[in-house]
């Protein structure tokens, strides 16, 4: 039996709530951390919800980075997203590896990755190269583009 997966959002740069703020001529960055370790319930449609409040920044958003530290579970079951204060949803993970020919997704377990708005390799297809040389430890990926 697989242990229950846990998720620890180590570093989150959530700037989605600032989309409506007018552009400033200065560059601002910020780090917002939630180090709470949460067990992801198996078979639950609700899952886990973690909230990180973002404040003290202004201007327009040019990039968002989210680092996820997930242990255990079945990666093909994972679904994660961000929601801004207006309710706009941005998908980070959408059952990696799920395709028409693979309805269960990737069967490996866990990851410690950074999802970066400027990255080019989509996390949804991390194992599709066939070589098995992908890494889910300390690597950077583009958020899941599969809806």
Please give the average per-residue pLDDT across 104-108, as a whole number: 92
Mean model confidence pLDDT for the chain? 77
Give pLDDT tens digits for 89-102: 889 999 999 999 99
Q: Identify the helix (H) or strand (E) that includes residue 86.
A: none
- Per the CB < 8 A criterion, the answer to whether 70 and 78 are in contact is yes
pLDDT score, position 10 = 36
What residues have CB less than 8 Å from 99, skipping those under 6 apart? none
Please give the average per-residue pLDDT across 5-17, as a whole number: 40
pLDDT higher than threshold 80 for residue 9: no
Using 50, 70 and 90 to split pLDDT, how confident is the model at 139?
very high
pLDDT score, position 129 = 60
pLDDT higher than threshold 60 for residue 12: no
Q: Which of 37, 62, 32 is nearest to 48 (CA)?
A: 37
pLDDT higher than threshold 60 for residue 115: yes
Please give the average per-residue pLDDT across 30-59, as a whole number: 81
- In angstroms, the CA 71 to CA 46 distance is 19
- Per the CB < 8 A criterion, the answer to whether 30 and 58 are in contact is no
Using 50, 70 and 90 to split pLDDT, how confident is the model at 78?
very high
- In angstroms, the CA 33 to CA 11 distance is 5
pTM over 0.85: no
pLDDT score, position 104 = 93
pLDDT higher than threshold 70 for residue 120: yes
């Amino acid at each position: 039996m697989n242990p229950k997966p846990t998720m620890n959002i180590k570093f989150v740069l959530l700037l989605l709530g600032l989309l409506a703020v007018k552009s400033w001529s200065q560059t601002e960055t910020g780090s917002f951390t939630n180090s709470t370790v949460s067990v992801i319930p198996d078979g639950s449609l609700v899952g886990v919800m973690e909230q990180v409040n973002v404040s003290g920044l202004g201007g327009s958003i040019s990039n968002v980075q989210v680092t996820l530290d997930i242990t255990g579970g079945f990666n093909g079951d994972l679904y994660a997203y961000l929601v801004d204060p207006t309710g706009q949803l941005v998908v980070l993970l959408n059952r990696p590896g799920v395709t028409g020919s693979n309805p269960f997704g990737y069967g490996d377990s866990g990851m410690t990755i950074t999802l970066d708005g400027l990255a080019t390799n989509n996390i949804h297809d991390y194992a599709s190269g066939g070589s098995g040389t992908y890494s889910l430890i300390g690597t950077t990926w583009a958020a899941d583009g599969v809806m």
